[in-house]
């Protein structure tokens, strides 16, 4: 995997510093300043002249300008009015001004417009909710090329048995194909973050798997609370048993099915795990197909996770 460490200071960053504008680390403002990394990210995204590109956290616009050169339109989501002012000054009076749409506000609380691609050096503290917001967006986008904190990126691509394999790994991989593209050293940012970074490519699965994602998420949430424990142990937790019994009775009621007085949800759970040959399995070693089979086994016997 390529690793880029070249340090470059742009004219824009010099101007921003001269004006006394301080980058806000609480908002994840670590501006990507290395043009080689920007060029590589855009090459991996394979921009087309007809593309609408979504950028989250454009900062002073280093990557924005390069995308405006290649794409039909760039939609830049920015929460800091100072960065918006810098970005507007940078395109003012140029051929790019009409191609740039700025969305002011919190991207997690905003309705995303149509876009073909998402290319961004995102604020790391919103990584997880942003990934799932993007993957739930319709219509489907073609791909996203995003900068993440290295450990988060490694969790995204982790496989069963890996130390970092977790609920994030399997939930994301259910919905998308994910590839690690490059490592990026902290000195390629201004100010430098405390962590190393990686660039990841995310391609949504279109069509998505034919299952209820809320059901899936409920199952993996239980299994990965203690990923090293057996599923038999995970499903004996009092809160889990209580929740599944409540859901079972609700679904029975909705389907006009009578629940007997001696019904025992624990016995039913044990029966399902036994039938699925999953009692002694552990979440850390289970792949997507394993969880799909288990979800179908629970649902077939009327046990639901929502």
Range 35-45 average pLDDT: 98
Q: CATH 3.40.50.150 region(s) of the chain?
A: 25-204
Q: How far apart are CA 244 and CA 235, in angstroms?
A: 9
- Beta strands 176-184; 197-204: pairing state: antiparallel
pLDDT value, residue 30:
87
The answer on pLDDT for 178 being more than 60 is: yes
- Does 112 have pLDDT greater than 70? yes
What is the DSSP secondary-structure string of 203-249? EE-SSPPSS-HHHHHHHHHHHHTTTTSBHHHHTT-HHHHHHHHHHHH
Q: Is 99 exposed, middle or buried (0-12, 13-18, 19+ CB in 10 A)?
A: middle
Helices (H) and strands (E) in the chain, counts: 12, 10
Q: Are 303 and 247 in contact (CB under 8 A)?
A: yes
At 29, the pLDDT band (50, 70, 90 cuts) reads confident
pLDDT score at 24: 54
pLDDT of residue 107: 97
Cα 170 from Cα 86, distance rounded (Å)? 39
Nearest to 183 by CA among 163, 155, 154: 154
pLDDT at 248 over 80: yes
pLDDT value of residue 5: 46
The answer, yes or no, to whether residue 19 has pLDDT greater than 50, is no
CATH code of 213-301, in short, is 1.10.8.480
Residue 18 predicted with pLDDT over 70:
no
List residues forming the annotated binding site.
30, 32, 57, 78, 106, 121
Residue numbering of the annotated binding site for S-adenosyl-L-methionine: 30, 32, 57, 78, 106, 121
Query: Is pLDDT at 25 greater than 70 in this prediction?
Result: no
At the second CATH level, the architecture of 25-204 is 3-Layer(aba) Sandwich (3.40)
For the cut 70, the answer to whether the pLDDT of residue 142 exceeds it is yes
> What's the whole-number average pLDDT of the chain?
93
Residues with Cβ < 8 Å from 265, sequence gap 6 or more?
Answer: 241, 244, 245, 248, 303
Element (H, E) at 266: helix 265-275
pTM for the predicted model, two decimal places: 0.89
CATH 1.10.8.480 intervals, the chain: 213-301
């Amino acid at each position: 995997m390529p690793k880029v460490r070249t340090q470059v200071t742009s004219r824009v960053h010099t101007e921003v510093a001269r004006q006394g504008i301080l980058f806000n680390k609480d908002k994840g403002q670590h501006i990507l300043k290395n043009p080689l990394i920007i060029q590589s990210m855009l090459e991996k995204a394979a921009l087309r002249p007809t593309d609408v590109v979504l950028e989250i956290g454009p900062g002073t616009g280093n990557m924005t300008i390069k995308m405006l050169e290649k794409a039909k339109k760039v939609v830049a989501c920015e929460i800091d009015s100072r960065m918006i002012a810098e970005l507007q000054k940078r395109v003012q009076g140029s051929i790019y001004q009409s191609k740039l749409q700025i969305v002011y506000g919190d991207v997690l609380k905003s309705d995303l417009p149509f876009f073909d691609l998402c290319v961004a050096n995102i604020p790391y503290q919103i990584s997880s909710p942003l990934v799932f917001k993007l993957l739930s967006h319709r219509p489907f986008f073609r791909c996203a090329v995003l900068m993440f904190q290295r450990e988060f990126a490694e969790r995204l691509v982790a496989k069963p048995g890996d130390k970092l394999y977790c609920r994030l790994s399997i939930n994301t991989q259910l919905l998308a194909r994910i590839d690690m593209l490059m490592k990026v050293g902290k000195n390629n940012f201004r100010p430098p973050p405390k962590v190393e970074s990686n660039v990841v490519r995310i391609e949504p699965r279109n069509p998505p798997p034919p299952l209820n994602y809320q059901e899936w998420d409920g199952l993996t949430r239980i299994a990965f609370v203690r990923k090293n424990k057996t599923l038999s142990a995970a499903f004996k937790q009092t809160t889990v048993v209580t929740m599944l019994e409540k859901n079972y009775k609700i679904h029975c009621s909705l389907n006009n099915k009578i629940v007997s007085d001696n019904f025992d949800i624990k016995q039913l759970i044990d029966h399902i795990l036994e039938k699925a040959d999953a009692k002694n399995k552990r979440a850390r070693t289970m792949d997507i197909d394993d969880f799909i089979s288990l979800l179908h086994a629970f649902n077939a016997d009327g046990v639901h996770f929502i």
